Structure 1
Amino acid sequence: MKLALITDAWHPQVNGVVTTLHELVEALGPLGVEVTVLHPGQFKNRPCPGYAGIDLAVRPYKALAAMLDNLSPDAVHIATEGPLGWAARKHCIQRGWRFTTAFHTKFPEILRAALRIPLFLGYALFRRFHRPSSGVMVPTEGVLKMLQARGFQSLKPWTHGVDLSLFLYQPQAMGSPELEHLPRPWALYVGRVSYEKNIDAFLSMPWSGTRIVCGEGPLAAQLKARYANVAWMGVLPRPQLARVYAAADVFVFPSRNETFGLVMLEAMACGTPVAAYPVDGPLQVLGAETGQPLGGALDEDLVKAAAQALRVPREEARRRAETFGWPHTVALFKSYLMPIKGEGEKA
């Protein structure tokens, strides 16, 4: 099978969507799926206004249409709702091709936070984007129910996986040469330093040890100036990031607007318990929808959640992460793909 995967999020961007798609592409090959990724680096592009580190394709339709026609794929998956996503959607509709999409990120919430665009307008736009899709892959049951309530159709429950061979379990928090001079406990945040992440809740919480941030983003400069007592480590290569995860005593996830939160799984795979709010993403990752959270603690008071998470056994965090293996994630994705033409139709 030849799959065209169109995404506005790809290397050198660093975020959960890029990580998920990269791992997905790597895992599909052995299953007989030849994936061609179409991404902003192949087109004229420019930085997204107000969102440093994200480049978007500029007027990509003509070039993208030619690339898709030359590729003649068996299936098309549109992973994001940016300029490339809209261009691919338009071309598939004009060609009469079926395609699948995914809802990775709550962009309406980002648009509200960054540009003050009302939430209902953002969701109306995204509902329009996904309406022709033969299957909208959604990472958690909570997000699926939210989208159903907002009138989205053809929703498919998906999930994400974690690379258990990269993020190795450590029964005790490791040392770290870069951080050894800092007092414990070490509370870690990994992710974009941006509007939608609610990172202020982490940076401002009372903490007797050290708060550590791995990541960059549009708010980094002003937050570094405000919180000079925080250890700012920037964007790390993934092997080094794995060691920082394993060195932390607790991983704090302050976002309230996630569809999933892959970084929580990465921390838990290393044995580091998670502290978060009881909202979509953390609820599903920690399994709290059906019982007590496993691998961390949830509370509307983030300081309380962090204190409770410090008492969670590291082996419990690892066991929970192991339930999110990649084989099931990839098999589910492949099962949702649709041939661009129905039986008896010509491509």
Structure 2
Amino acid sequence: MRPERSAQPKRLVIVSDAWHPQVNGVVRTLTKLREQMEVRGFEVTIISPADYRSAPCPTYPEIRLALTYPLAVKARIEALQPAFVHIATEGPLGIMARRACLKNKWRFTTSFHTRFPEYLRERLPVPLSWSYRFLRRFHNAAETCLVPTQSIHDELLARGFDTLKVWTRGVDRELFRPQPDVDLKLPRPIFLCVGRVAPEKNLEAFLSLDLPGTRLIVGDGPDLEELKRKYPKAVFAGKKEGEELARLYAGSDVFVFPSRTDTFGLVLLEAIACGLPVAGYPVPGPKDVIGASGAGVLSDNLQEAALGALEMGRVDPDVRLQGFSWEACADIFESVLTTIGGTRELAASKLKSSRAVSAR
């Protein structure tokens, strides 16, 4: 059976194993994307673990894994009668949605958000080639696989992925903004890092640096208590959101991004939007964002990068963030949407193609 499309030609189903109350780049991206697509006249439904009984993911208890079965996911998609299906993650729901699409010959798109092979290798002796073989098979069945940066595009292309398109990201400029009057009442300069406190974020590369002032960590995760004990001079603020998080950005002096495995790093855009120069390694994510914006210093020596960024001083987000917007993100997403019967959604793609290209 094929879902009926005539009544609601703009119905969009997004399947994601990552959703609220998780706080991460995938959830923020999909939340902003849904807002943008609804403004454009799409009726968007997110199929997520919130719709089912779930269990905590091993080593990632905050991530819930849906406990359901393929026929239930297939029936849910059929009941929604979508014109378009996008599979955002490669977890249990994504696998079941992909299976339903292939079985019923529904066309679909996917997106690559996370370096799960590298994350898995941090915890288990699983060869990268095995994990990437699974991901390549998963995504190559899609009409288009959206990837966050040109660097990731090139890496995946070399690994045999063949349906790739670069998909930019944005930042909420009303929330994340320069606030010159913020005083965090910590010794200056303040070197800030925001993100999950977990092994793959490489936080010890930052915490072990010999830097003046304060090293401030914002976030939660499995390594939090251990790092607190190991680095008692650092300040650990825990998980923050909204205006409280924006004030921490605005009151700091340098944003340090020690991760070597992120695919983009939305926190980079949030920091730049608040006027912070960024220090990081020259790897995918920082290389693309900082290389495009010029808003920081990248070096294999993180200490040199941090001190170099401090010397730069504040940056102008109006200048540095050109090309990074949620509107551009939605432009690219809309341009690749393909109806489950096989017709590309081209209504806006010609008009917006130049913006989509420049957003790379």
Aligned to 2:183: 175
Task: Give the 3 Å change call, closer, same or farther, for CA 173–249 of structure 1 in structure 2.
Answer: farther
1:82 aligned residue? 91
CA displacement at 1:318 relative to structure 2: 4.8
- The answer for the alignment partner of 2:218 in structure 1 is 214
CA contact (8 A) 1:294 1:317 kept: no
Report the equivalent of 1:297. Answer: 297
Q: Would the aligned equivalents of 1:191 and 1:263 in 2 still touch at CA under 8 Å?
A: yes
CA contact (8 A) 1:52 1:217 kept: no
Matched, 1:263 2:267: yes
Alignment partner, residue 65 of structure 1: 74
2:335 corresponds to 1:335: yes
Instruction: Report the Cα distance in structure 2 between the residues aligned to 1:336 and 1:247, rounded to whole angstroms.
Output: 40
Report what 2:7 is aligned to: none
Q: Is the 8 A contact 1:268 1:318 kept in 2?
A: no
Task: Name the counterpart of 2:125.
Answer: 116
Aligned to 2:308: 308
Q: C-alpha displacement at 1:173, in angstroms?
A: 7.1
Tell me if 1:142 matches 2:142. no
Which residue, 106, 112, 121 being the options, matches 1:97? 106
Matched, 1:252 2:256: yes
Aligned to 1:283: 287
Shift of 1:311: 2.1
Residues paired across the two proteins, number: 334
Structural RMSD (CA)? 1.4
3-state DSSP of counterpart to 1:286: helix
Measured against aligned partners, the alpha-carbon deviations of 1:293-316 in whole angstroms (never above 9, x if no partner) come to: 611111111111011111224234
Q: Aligned AA for 1:201?
A: A
Letter matched to residue 85 of structure 2: V
SS of residue matched to 2:321: helix
Structure 2 residue 195 is the aligned partner of structure 1 residue 191: yes
Q: Secondary structure at the match of 1:310?
A: helix
Distance apart, 1:86 and its partner CA: 0.3
CA apart distance, 1:319: 2.1
Alignment partner of 1:129: what SS?
Answer: helix
The letter for the 1-side match of 2:163 is: S
- The separation in 1 between residues aligned to 2:240 and 2:258, in whole angstroms, is 20
* Cα deviation 1:282-334 (Å, max 9, x = unaligned): 1110126xxxx611111111111011111224234552124312211111111
- Structure 1, unpaired ranges of 5+: none
Distance in 2 (alpha carbons) for counterparts of 1:262 and 1:146: 20
CA distance in 2, matches of 1:221, 1:208: 23
What per-residue deviation string (whole Å, max 9, x for no partner) do you get for residues 100-131 of structure 1?
00011111100111222111111111111112
- Opposite residue 19 of structure 2, the aligned amino acid is W
What pairs up with 1:237-248 in 2 under 5 angstroms? 237-248=241-252
**1:281 Cα offset (Å):** 0.6
8 Å Cα contact 1:269/1:321 also seen in 2 = yes
Q: Deviations over 1:173-193 (max 9, x none)?
A: 7312xxx1x211111111111
Matched residues in 1 for 2:315 and 2:178: separation? 8
SS at 1:54 equivalent: strand
Q: CA deviation at 1:33?
A: 1.2
SS of the aligned residue for 1:284 comes to helix
The answer as to whether partners of 1:2 and 1:35 remain within 8 angstroms in 2 is yes
Q: SS of the residue aligned with 1:73?
A: coil
1:9 is matched with: 18
1:321 maps onto 2:321 in alignment: yes
SS of the aligned residue for 2:312 comes to coil
Letter in 1 for 2:207: L
3-state SS in 1 of match to 2:142: coil
Tell me, what secondary structure is at the counterpart of 2:86? strand
Structure 1 residue matching 2:215: 3-state secondary structure:
strand
Kept in 2, the 8 Å contact 1:295–1:313? The answer is: no
Give deviations 1:253-292, integer Å, cap 9, x for gaps: 001111111100000001011000011111110126xxxx
1:336 is matched by which residue type in structure 2? V
- Alignment check: 8 A CA contact 2:277 2:315 kept: no
Instruction: Please name the residue that 1:227 is paired with.
Output: 231
CA contact (8 A) 2:279 2:302 kept: yes
Give, in angstroms, the shift of residue 169 of structure 1: 2.4
Query: Does residue 40 in structure 1 map to residue 49 in structure 2?
Result: yes
Q: CA deviation at 1:52?
A: 2.7
Tell me, yes or no, if the aligned pair for 1:295 and 1:314 is still in contact at 8 Å.
Answer: no
**Residue 169 of structure 2 contacts residue 328 of structure 2 at CA under 8 Å; is this kept in 1?**
no
TM superposition score normalised by structure 1 = 0.93
